[in-house]
Amino acid sequence: MGGFSNVVPVIVELLRKVLSLSSDEPEAILRLIGKLDEIHSLGLVDGKMFVIRILPLLSGAVLSFFGECLRNGRSWEQCKRELLREFFPPFRP
């Protein structure tokens, strides 16, 4: 558990460099998700902790969406897939 506490400041610092979502425009959402996915891929924290840490970067419908994902116990990967299906019809099966 000691290693986990050392990782949180690293995640916080990486996320501090990501611009917050300023609109619900598809391009802005995709740009943000791409940057967040890069940080998540480092594997520093699990998917649920990552979603908790990104909430301050979100707004509007995207914030509500990720809040609901978190309440339902979904990980970053699950939330990301669902977000793409929800907000971007070409990603729907």
Interval 36-86: pLDDT, tens: 999 999 999 998 889 999 999 999 999 999 999 999 999 999 999 899 888
- At residue 45, what is the residue type? V
pLDDT digits (tens, 9 = 90+) for 38-47: 999 999 999 8
What lies within 8 Å, CB to CB, of 48 at 6+ separation is 70, 73, 74, 75, 76
What DSSP assignment string belongs to 37-82?
HHHHTT-SS-HHHHHHHHGGG--HHHHHHHHHHHHTT--HHHHHHH
pLDDT reading at 8 higher than 70: yes
- 2 band by pLDDT with thresholds 50, 70 and 90: very low
